[in-house]
Amino acid sequence: MKIIVDAFGGDNAPLEIIRGCADAVKGLGVDIVLTGREQEIRRVAQENGISLERMEICDAPDVITMEDSAGDIMKAKSDCSMALGLRLLAQGKGDAFVSGGNSGALVVGATLIVKRIKGVRRIAFAPIMPKNKGCFMLIDSGANVDCKPEMLQQFGIMGSIYMEKVMGIKRPRVALANIGVEDHKGGELQHSSFALLKNSGLNFVGNIEARDIPDDAGDVIVADGFTGNVILKLYEGVALMLMGKLKDIFTHSVKNKLAAAVVLGDIKALKQNFDYNEYGGAPLMGCSKPVFKTHGSAKAKTVYNALRLTKAYVEGNVVDEIASSIARYGADEK
């Protein structure tokens, strides 16, 4: 399997990207295509003793930054490392693409260069996040601020397929983010989306309130991009705050430090459970070929996990499964 990686996508590029890719070559057995400034990639690798074995480099002179507008990937920054990677994917030069760069540009580039699966209305961000038992997918988490009910229905279909094929969850429970659990709750978007999801053939468990999301109330949480992004950012912020408070408690005094030593293993397990690095980032659901967005602050471990999930994304034949489901449902509707 060959995975194309944007070597200059993210705050810690290219060093941490290269390190993560080198680890993936060894640990996952994948081949890598790095896009970006070739001379700098080779210099950084040499200075840090990183092997570039089984890594091809495709030179791209430019980088799209977080300050650039999303549309620049098709215009002023069309020669950037992200754009080149997406073009290589569209041309069949790799099986998937991974980037930690500008999220808006990645959505625009994926939509216009790689294209959507036939019948899919919008590409969606779908991060995998921790919960009380295991993990869940939040779809959409920001790519589509304004949504139609049919889009949320497709988010549920795509998320369910990914969680089953990649994360190994049988019959994933699909829930609709809402302001109450009763069927009549929410606005027009939620009412119409509820009816479509209920009749979609998915394992739809109904509406879910935000407070119940961490407590294993669903495996796929469906939301419009505005609502999903608010949930995502609050979820991350609360987790960081709680872990920080826990650290303050255990370092407050000698007595507390001794107590921390007794439960150190449990504390590490808890921290790992809430560590976003374990999940790598978010697949872009709805692309005609696998595209994965890793965290902008990704270190080597995060990049490795993103590549691990991307490999499973390809091996799970997720794109074809989504295409088949969308086509089948469309035929049923007719």
Q: What is the pTM of this model?
A: 0.89
pLDDT at 30 over 70: yes
**236 pLDDT tier (thresholds 50, 70, 90):** confident
pLDDT of residue 333: 46
* Cα R_g (the chain), whole angstroms: 20
Residue with tokens 């970006």: 36
> CB–CB of 279/265 below 8 Å?
no
For the 121-282 domain, the top CATH level (class) is alpha beta
Percentage, residues of the chain above pLDDT 70: 95
CATH topology of domain 1-119+285-316: Isopropylmalate Dehydrogenase (3.40.718)
* Mean pLDDT (whole number) for 53-82: 95
How many Å apart are CA 153 and CA 148, to the nearest integer?
9
Q: Which residues in the chain are classed under CATH 3.40.718.10? A: 1-119+285-316, 121-282
**247 pLDDT tier (thresholds 50, 70, 90):** confident
pLDDT tens digits along 255-297: 888 777 877 777 676 666 666 556 678 999 999 999 999 988 8
pLDDT of residue 275: 60
In sequence order, what are the residues at sequence separation of 6 or more whose Cβ sits closer than 8 angstroms to the Cβ of residue 100?
A: 6, 9, 10, 11, 13, 17, 281, 293, 294, 295, 296, 298, 303, 306
Give long-range contacts, CB 8 A cutoff, 24+ apart: 24-30. 24/303, 24/304, 24/307, 24/308, 25/51, 25/53, 25/54, 25/55, 27/304, 27/308, 28/304, 28/307, 28/308, 28/311, 29/1, 30/1, 30/2, 30/3, 30/54, 30/307, 30/311
pLDDT of residue 97: 98
HSE (side-chain half, CA atoms, 13 Å) at 226: 6
